[in-house]
Amino acid sequence: MKIVGLTYDLKSDYKFKEGDPEDANAEFDHPSTIDVIAKAIEANGFKVERIGNAENLLERLGSLKVDIVFNISEGMFGRNRESQVPVILEMAGIPFVGADALTLGITLDKVMAKKIFIADKIPTPKFFEVGSPEQLSQTNHHRFPLIVKPRFEGSSKGLSESSRVQNKEELISQVEFIVNTYKQPALVEEFISGQEFTVAIIGNEEPEVMPVVQIKIDGKLQLKDKFYTFARITSDRLEYICPAKIPADLKKSINELALKTYRAVECRDFGRVDFRVDKEGRPYVLEINPLPSLSTEDVFKLVAENVGITYEDIIGKILQYALKRYNLN
């Protein structure tokens, strides 16, 4: 029986420091998510060896007996944090599920990712980057509304109702908040009103694009000024609709763009692409997540069931795609 190591970061492993925002450990998983993933791997006929985070991995590296690692570790600090476990595994010659360090680093940094999208003609909201509020006082021609996000965070960290700004004063204060709280530049984007979608993809040479999921906020599909904030993630104000009931041409362009984005950053085994679609029906890629949440509350279970397979099946498929890449299946 093959042994699958499991690398992850638990919310409880994060030690809050003074000055940390309340969402500092938002990307990390609940023990229940790790249990569910471990059970799903076992249901596919593997033995699971729980490893934990990058530090735990380093401690055990010399004596680790696993055939492959299922990595969902988010890492602790900085824009290379998601790359830490993959780089250690690569150095040790241990196969692992999911994207490699380069893809994880480039996509966690949204500015880097957007430069790739632009080079590959993947539509993404217009943007600029601001390292400090002082840089803003020199420029005066902004097209509001804009949205201000941290440059390298996920899980909607740093996003609240104030992230959407309508004038220069609000822009300055939100940039100040991001730079001071998250200790990184702010990414300022044109705000796309309209609708929001997310697309899960699994596989490699011929990736499987899963059904489009639409995000409903406060019971509305036409979101206008509404968007996904940190507070909404855990509230019942947010719903996933799967499959999205949208015109065939929009579905086609979203699917094609999702696949193009997955390939552009060389995702492996699984990933998820987030979109906004403006009032005229034009889709924009917000970001790609090569390490999307596999929590049963999130979209992977939903899309699996929509195509008639179980959560355990989709985890099994992701694992099989990885094993195949290494000729281990």
Ligand X SMILES: Nc1ncnc2c1ncn2[C@@H]1O[C@H](COP(=O)(O)OP(=O)(O)OP(=O)(O)O)[C@@H](O)[C@H]1O
List residues binding ligand X (CB under 6 A): 125, 147, 149, 153-157, 159, 189, 191-192, 196, 227-228, 274, 276, 286-287, 289
Name the residue type at position 89: L
Nearer Cβ to ligand X, position 157 or 268? 157
Q: How would you write 207-273 as a 3-class SS string? A: CEECCCEEEEECCECCCCCCCCCHHHHCCCCEEEECCCCCCHHHHHHHHHHHHHHHHHCCCCCEEEE
Nearer Cβ to Mg ion, position 69 or 210? 210
Nearer Cβ to Mg ion, position 153 or 274? 274
Range 285-314, binding Mg ion (CB under 5 A): none
Residue 124 CB, nearest approach to Mg ion (Å) = 13
Residue 241 CB, nearest approach to Mg ion (Å) = 17
Give the CB-side neighbour count of residue 91, counting CA atoms within 13 A.
Answer: 11
- Cα torsion 32, 34, 37, 42 to 10°: value is -100
Residue 191 binding partner per list Mg ion, ligand X, none, with a CB distance cut-off of 5 to 8 Å that depends on partner kind: ligand X
Coil/strand/helix, residue 21? coil
Say if CB 1 and CB 47 are below 8 A apart.
yes
Residue 159 CB, nearest approach to ligand X (Å) = 5
Nearer Cβ to ligand X, position 258 or 323? 258
Hey, which residues does 190 pair with through a beta bridge? Answer: 146
Residue 287 CB, nearest approach to Mg ion (Å) = 5
- Cα separation, 162 vs 147, in Å, equals 9
Residue 147 CB, nearest approach to ligand X (Å) = 5
Residue 196 binding partner per list ligand X, Mg ion, none, with a CB distance cut-off of 5 to 8 Å that depends on partner kind: ligand X
Task: Report the residue number whose CB is nearest to Mg ion.
Answer: 274
Range 266-285, binding Mg ion (CB under 5 A): 274
Coil/strand/helix, residue 52? strand
Nearer Cβ to ligand X, position 41 or 159? 159
- Cα separation, 260 vs 246, in Å, equals 20
Residue 107 binding partner per list Mg ion, ligand X, none, with a CB distance cut-off of 5 to 8 Å that depends on partner kind: none
Nearer Cβ to ligand X, position 269 or 287? 287
- Cα separation, 102 vs 83, in Å, equals 7
Residue 322 CB, nearest approach to ligand X (Å) = 22
Residue 147 binding partner per list Mg ion, ligand X, none, with a CB distance cut-off of 5 to 8 Å that depends on partner kind: ligand X
Residue 97 CB, nearest approach to Mg ion (Å) = 21
**Core vs surface per residue 53-76: b (16+ CB within 10 A) or e:** bbebbeeeeeebebbbbbbbbbbb
Name the residue type at position 50: R
- Please, is 22 exposed, middle or buried when counting C-beta atoms within 10 Å of its C-beta (0-12, 13-18, 19+)? exposed
Nearer Cβ to Mg ion, position 89 or 198? 198
Residue 155 binding partner per list ligand X, Mg ion, none, with a CB distance cut-off of 5 to 8 Å that depends on partner kind: ligand X
Nearer Cβ to ligand X, position 136 or 299? 299
Residue 305 CB, nearest approach to ligand X (Å) = 21
Residue 227 binding partner per list Mg ion, ligand X, none, with a CB distance cut-off of 5 to 8 Å that depends on partner kind: ligand X
Question: Binding residues for Mg ion, per CB under 5 A?
Answer: 274
